[in-house]
Amino acid sequence: MGGVHPDELIGLWDSAPFEYGAMEATMLALLPDGRGWSELANAAGALLVRRLTWEVSRPGVIELRFAVAIDVAAGEQDPDSEFVRAQYSVSEAELRLSELVDYARQFALKKRDVGMADDPSAELVPYAGPEH
């Protein structure tokens, strides 16, 4: 990937603060090395993790390339080939996308320092290569 990974986007982003009364929420993790994942969790205990790579291809445009979907509760994984290109705006604590990631497009910053160990599927499906 030839794009960049701006520091302002790096972190664990959570849609829950904007999901008023919803039974599900999405988290979006963007790591400094261009890897990441989305987590779709619901009140029934389901948890789907979708691993991705990301880049900013031009100012204000983020591209997410999904590679694998992991059903954490069932212990199953399947290929995932979704591609999302979205315009974005970001502030100190909020990320807004023009396109949906899982079922969300507005996220609050949960924490800036995020790594592969924060991925709830990391033990089930270990990452290849070192963490940066």
Both tokens of 125, joined, read 């499906």
Q: Are 35 and 52 in contact (CB under 8 A)?
A: yes
| CA–CA distances in Å: residue 14 to residues 27, 56, 89, 110, 119 | 4, 20, 15, 6, 13
Q: Are 89 and 60 in contact (CB under 8 A)?
A: yes
- DSSP SS3 for 18: helix
d(CA 107, CA 102): 12
| pTM attached to this predicted model | 0.92
pLDDT tens profile 52-110:
999 999 999 999 999 999 999 999 999 999 999 999 999 989 999 999 999 999 999 99
* Residue carrying structure tokens 């290849």: 128
Q: Where are the domains of the chain?
A: 7-111
Is the domain defined by 7-111 classed in CATH 3.30.479.30?
A: no
